[in-house]
Structure 1
Amino acid sequence: MTSFSRAALAAVLIAGTSSFAMTAPAAAKKKEEAKGGLVVSEPLRVAATAAGAAIAAKDFATAETNVAVIEAGAKTDDERYLAQAYRLQLEANKVGDAGNPAVLAGPLDALIANPKTPATEVGRYAYMRANIAYNAKQYPQALAGYQRAVQAGFTAPNMQLQIARTKIQSGDTAGGVADIEKQIAADKAAGQPVSEDLYKYAIVALQKTPDTAATMRWTREWLYAYNTQPNWHTAIYVFGFQGDNDKKITKRERIDLFRLLRATKSLAGEREYVEYADLAVQTANAAEAKAVIAEGNATGKLTPANSAAKLTLGEATTQLAREGSLAVQEKRALAAADGLEANGVGDYALGTGNAAKAIEMYKLALSKGGAKLNKDEINTHLGIAYLQAGDKASAKAAFAQVTTGLRGQIAALWSVWADAPGAPTPAAG
């Protein structure tokens, strides 16, 4: 019998191209057994040597012949382990970078089950097998593999995220997100940077559930940890301009998201400035439309020659002429029986940046009331006005009054901005 070094065997499985180191021949059987080495028959040793050389030379036909000899002649766990190891090495080399790794599942299963497989390598094989199961969408099997890898002491840079992803794909979103939260806490405790992907994956998973509170909490944590204009733009757009919310959001709700894009300096380009200004005209906020177009021109994100912007600007100018001055509008609001006129004046003042007057008018609207008055909308706008005035506490109190429906979620997103740690940076990094 001949013995093989387990360390060398492990190394060849990792590298995939090297050959096994041979130790003493049959005379050393008892010594190697005592040290925990592999003991195999001489014919299998010869076949293994030939197989290793053939694999290294990419002569897979010759390698197959010799691996088959080992498999056919294996009578002990040691010899079966040798056969399984060479089968894995051969199949891994045949697969290469572009093949289907699913063919490795059988050899990996055999190695994991073999009592001669070193405990230090069981975790690695379990991890490899779990990856194959995950790619095949066999999520329960993948989860069991990752958990076994962890129990065996195997570590990988994205292990915790992979386990979390597998739980989420299995339908256990809460469990997966909890694992991500643990990973973030561990990274912070170790003084390590927290990967932005952890936040993003949790948010994407939660957006597919009815748990809007958890989605908002994770969105807040992500934006605070990675406080950039592109991230604010993504968060706002995904929230209200895509998916289910985009199908049910009203024009008046949508404009409040455009206002948040503007507040965070996250408006991305010409199309968004034009859409925002046009929406402002449609919702009787002509003063705001003019301010948005002027801002777009000043920042260079909107060209003065833009025909759509010029058309919208003309419509806004006409609308403003009909409305009259702020003083005229305010007089009508004070004389009105309900708060509708005052709400309109508040919107006018908000659009021109006159936060103090907006706050005054919104409060008047709420005090006058009225059957057609949308109090949630007014409180949202009151919170925005307070933020314009620099009164964060009052802004948050106003947003807190809005608790239901899509409007409640919009107010919550504005409240996230109210507590943001400084102005967003122009870009990540």
Structure 2
Amino acid sequence: MKTFTTKAFKTLAISALLATTGVVVGVAAPAQAADKPAAPKYKLSKPVQQALAESQKLSAAGDNAGALAKANEAAALPSLTPDEVYMINAVKINIAIATKDNTLLEQALRGALSSGLVPPEDQAKFYRNLGALALQHNDYATATSDFEKLAALNPADTEPMIALAELYQRQKQPVKAVAMLGKVIDTAKANGTVAPETVYRRRLAIAYDAKLTADIQPAAMALVAAYPNPVNWRDALTIFRDGANLDDQASLDTLRLMATVGALNGERDYAEYAETASNRGLPGEAKTALDEGVAKGMLSTSKPFVKELSGVVTPKIAADKASLPGLAKDAAKAANGKLALSTGDAMYGYGQYADAAAMYKLALSKGGIDADTANLRLGMVLAKSGDKAGAEAAFKAVAGPGARKTLAQYWLIWLSKKA
């Protein structure tokens, strides 16, 4: 079987989430001239007021170097008040924007925040830009701190959370990254929306790459529940198969689910399904897998493997199918449910879902079989025959723990999407 790879899971680009260029920050305007008082909201000493007024005059004249020197002159004055710290840095911010000096901008933004006077409506803008600026020079720790503050300011905004998840991952903190992406998903639900598919896929990719066993299947199930397309189903079930160490029976049941959700893709998948069914003594199901693979262009009748397997299973089908009524009668008389279970499996392969359901129920009533296997397959045939409530009850009866419990949960997800 082809080994699963996370190459298909694209990293969420931080550059797409953050405004790392064209920084625009709203701040209160400083005094316009030396003989005009500062805005009433801010109380400035005469030396500070005069230096800032001169700074603005120089800036308006295009002398930004001189303007910065005057702002620094004000900053060097002793015993500055919070009002003065804020206004000095407001002037510096405007100079930094005019000169496209990101180093100065970052210093000024932090300086303004240190005053405690940045209005609440502007703090998010400040921290977003600070995070972007820190990212420009790969200062992940500082960017993380800024985006954590940004996220705290507006808990309903998922963009800072997405950025944080990537920052945690870049700093080799996959547990925190996965948890944060889970928070993105939960927050989106609380907002009445669905997080982007990339968030679900990224969460699964990080969990898989970091071997976070407890997080992999929840992330995979969440992905197919939110975005149940064939690609996501295939990725989720491939990951499940790779990590579950399945026996032949559970492997067959997984392939059956993949066939049902349209997740089989390529020659290898259909060949494996057909061969697994054949090895389990199910020629009808093996032939169905071969025929479907050929019909979808995944298998070629000219390939030796297809010719050989078709030559093995096709001659068996007529007698096998004709034997089912007699096997059903024998199963009713048997001391345990083993024959009923195997007969139900054969009926499944021929699409005789109602008859198969009766056999699985008989097997459960007689006992002597693995109840989880019987309930899982009972749910499968009831789902395929349209008995949604019955299928749901059967799947929920799979007690687990183990692969069959996980498969039942996947089937329940698929069932929930059916009309």
Give the TM-score normalised by structure 2: 0.70
* Matched position secondary structure for 2:40: helix
In structure 2, the CA distance between the partners of 1:68 and 1:257, relative to structure 1 (3 Å rule), is: farther
Counterparts of residues 190-269 of structure 1 (less than 5 Å): 195-197=196-198, 200=201, 208=212, 210=214, 215=219, 218-219=222-223, 221-222=225-226, 226-238=227-239, 240-242=240-242, 244-245=243-244, 248-269=245-266
1:411 shift after superposition:
1.1
Q: Deviations for 1:126-161, whole angstroms, at most 9, x for unmatched residues?
A: 12334547971568724542145439xxx9672465
Q: How big is the alpha-carbon RMSD for the aligned residues of Structure 1 and Structure 2?
A: 4.3
Query: Which residue of the other structure, out of 143, 149, 152, is the alignment partner of 1:145?
Result: 149
Question: Conserved in 1, the CA contact under 8 Å of 2:264 and 2:270?
Answer: yes
Q: Distance in 1 between matches of 2:58 and 2:258?
A: 68
1:406 shift after superposition:
1.8
- Residue 379 in structure 1 maps to residue 375 in structure 2: yes
Q: Distance in 1 between matches of 2:147 and 2:23?
A: 22
- Residue 421 in structure 1 maps to residue 418 in structure 2: yes
Query: Which residue of the other structure, out of 74, 91, 94, is the alignment partner of 1:82?
Result: 91
Amino acid at match of 1:316: V
Percent sequence identity over aligned pairs:
24
- Residue 171 in structure 1 maps to residue 172 in structure 2: no
Q: Distance in 1 between matches of 2:98 and 2:198?
A: 33
* Matched position secondary structure for 1:127: helix
Query: Which residue of the other structure, out of 33, 40, 43, is the alignment partner of 1:34?
Result: 40
Q: How many residues align?
A: 372
In structure 2, the CA distance between the partners of 1:129 and 1:406, relative to structure 1 (3 Å rule), is: farther
* Matched position secondary structure for 1:381: helix
1:355 shift after superposition:
1.3
Counterparts of residues 230-309 of structure 1 (less than 5 Å): 230-238=231-239, 240-242=240-242, 244-245=243-244, 248-309=245-306
- Residue 182 in structure 1 maps to residue 193 in structure 2: no
Question: Conserved in 2, the CA contact under 8 Å of 1:347 and 1:358?
Answer: yes
Amino acid at match of 2:233: W
1:346 shift after superposition:
1.5
* Matched position secondary structure for 1:210: helix
Question: Conserved in 1, the CA contact under 8 Å of 2:341 and 2:374?
Answer: yes
* Matched position secondary structure for 2:265: coil
Q: Distance in 1 between matches of 2:285 and 2:120?
A: 68
Question: Conserved in 2, the CA contact under 8 Å of 1:249 and 1:406?
Answer: yes
- Residue 349 in structure 1 maps to residue 335 in structure 2: no
Q: Deviations for 1:180-235, whole angstroms, at most 9, x for unmatched residues?
A: 323323235xxxx764445556666787463689658735641xxx4434443344
In structure 2, the CA distance between the partners of 1:252 and 1:47, relative to structure 1 (3 Å rule), is: farther
Q: Distance in 2 between matches of 1:71 and 1:125?
A: 21
In structure 2, the CA distance between the partners of 1:79 and 1:220, relative to structure 1 (3 Å rule), is: closer
1:14 aligned partner: 23
2:310 aligned partner: 313
- Residue 112 in structure 1 maps to residue 110 in structure 2: no
1:367 aligned partner: 365
In structure 2, the CA distance between the partners of 1:294 and 1:109, relative to structure 1 (3 Å rule), is: same
Unaligned 5+ runs, structure 2: 1-20, 77-83
Amino acid at match of 1:265: G
In structure 2, the CA distance between the partners of 1:89 and 1:180, relative to structure 1 (3 Å rule), is: farther
1:321 shift after superposition:
8.5
Question: Conserved in 2, the CA contact under 8 Å of 1:326 and 1:345?
Answer: no
Amino acid at match of 1:25: A
Q: Distance in 1 between matches of 2:323 and 2:142?
A: 65
1:425 aligned partner: none
Task: Choose between structure 1 and 2 for higher RCO, CA contacts under 8 A separated by at least 6 residues.
Answer: 2
Question: Conserved in 1, the CA contact under 8 Å of 2:148 and 2:160?
Answer: no
Counterparts of residues 31-70 of structure 1 (less than 5 Å): 32-34=38-40, 39=49, 41=51, 44-45=55-56, 48-49=59-60, 67=68, 70=71
In structure 2, the CA distance between the partners of 1:311 and 1:66, relative to structure 1 (3 Å rule), is: farther
Q: Distance in 2 between matches of 1:293 and 1:93?
A: 63
In structure 2, the CA distance between the partners of 1:108 and 1:22, relative to structure 1 (3 Å rule), is: closer
Q: Distance in 1 between matches of 2:355 and 2:164?
A: 53
1:398 shift after superposition:
1.7
1:263 shift after superposition:
1.6
Q: Deviations for 1:25-75, whole angstroms, at most 9, x for unmatched residues?
A: 3222x1x3337599452653465457x677xxxxxxxx6x87467435634
In structure 2, the CA distance between the partners of 1:367 and 1:148, relative to structure 1 (3 Å rule), is: closer
Question: Conserved in 2, the CA contact under 8 Å of 1:281 and 1:289?
Answer: yes
In structure 2, the CA distance between the partners of 1:37 and 1:164, relative to structure 1 (3 Å rule), is: farther
1:293 shift after superposition:
1.0
- Residue 406 in structure 1 maps to residue 407 in structure 2: no
Unaligned 5+ runs, structure 1: 1-11, 55-62, 95-102, 423-429
Amino acid at match of 2:39: E
1:9 aligned partner: none
